[in-house]
Amino acid sequence: MSVIPAHELGGAANAAPTPESVWQRLSRAIDAYLAERTKKAIPAITLRRSRHEIAQCRRLARSRVAMAAETFRGRLARS
C-alpha cells in the first residue's frame, strides 16, 4: 500500500493551468450578462404571484381528484 503525503498533490494538480482563450472568456462574459438580464426580466412581484397561482391550481386539482375518488367509491357502494 502506498501513501501520498498531504503536502504533495499528485497528477493534474501539479500541472500549470492553461490560459483561457479569448473565445472562452468572451463566452463566459456573454453567459454572465445574459443570466443577469434574465434575472431582471421578470419583476419579483410577478414571480410571487405566479407561484401563488400555481399553488392554488395544485390545491384545486388535488381536491377535484379527491372528490372524484369519493364519487367513484360511492357509485361502487351503491352497485
Please name the amino acid found at residue 47: L
Q: For 24-35, what is each residue's pLDDT tens digit?
A: 899 999 988 988
Check if the beta carbon of residue 4 is closer than 8 Å to that of residue 10: yes
Answer whether residue 11 shows pLDDT above 60: no
Instruction: Indicate the pLDDT class of residue 1, thresholds 50, 70 and 90.
Output: low
Distance CA 79, CA 68 (A): 17
Q: For 50-69, what is each residue's pLDDT tens digit?
A: 888 888 888 888 887 777 77
